[in-house]
Amino acid sequence: MKWVIFLLFTSAICAMQWMWQMDNHTSETAYLRLKNTLDLATHDAALQVSQAALDNGEIRFTPASRDVLEALLRSNLKLDNNNYPVQPNMFRSSDQLRVLFFDTVETGCPGSPAGFPCTYINSTYNYVDTIKGPSVVAIISMRHPRPFAFSQDKSFIVGGSHEYKGY
């Protein structure tokens, strides 16, 4: 009887550790998927430049850059038109992806008269980045997937930028 109780107790501990590890692995995978997708989306958004300004040796982003960013996020994360995940998906279908912040930096960071390089600071979302040229900056948010609910119920807030260095 002693061995049966020991085996049941050990099995329960092992099952809890396995569920905790799966929760952590899912959390890390979800964060990396959001970060990689945002990096790709800011890259494609940064490609939306005005040809006329480019002919004059300047980089000016077109208004379509935000639309391209959102379209790429929807495509790569398998979201519907309202930014809700389409199943099967790593994220829950009730959790909406939100673009919290989008900015184009063409002549220097806000509040920095020196131009480039500069330190881009968004104190609302605690995003800090050193930018060395014209850039697209975006911050997104998505709920944590939590398959076993061992981790905190929170939202990932992911920021990223793509720049034309030394331009």
pLDDT (average), residues 11-40: 88
Checking if the pLDDT of 15 tops 90, the result is no
Predicted pLDDT at 87 = 84
Start-to-end Cα distance in the chain:
75
pTM of the predicted structure, to 2 decimals: 0.85
Q: What is the mean pLDDT of residues 114-141?
A: 89
pLDDT of residue 110: 76
Determine the average pLDDT of the residues in 39-64: 89
Q: What is the pLDDT of residue 65?
A: 92
pLDDT one-digit tens code per residue, 70-123: 999 999 999 999 999 998 888 888 888 999 999 998 887 777 777 788 888 888
Whole-number mean pLDDT of the chain? 87
Residue 72, pLDDT score: 95
One-letter amino acid for residue 159 of the chain:
G
pLDDT at 21 over 90: no
Helix-then-strand count for the chain, H and E: 3, 5
Burial class (CB in 10 A: 0-12, 13-18, 19+), 55: exposed
Predicted local distance difference test score (pLDDT) of residue 82: 92
Residues 6+ apart with CB under 8 A from 97: 73, 77, 79, 83, 84, 85, 91, 140, 141, 142
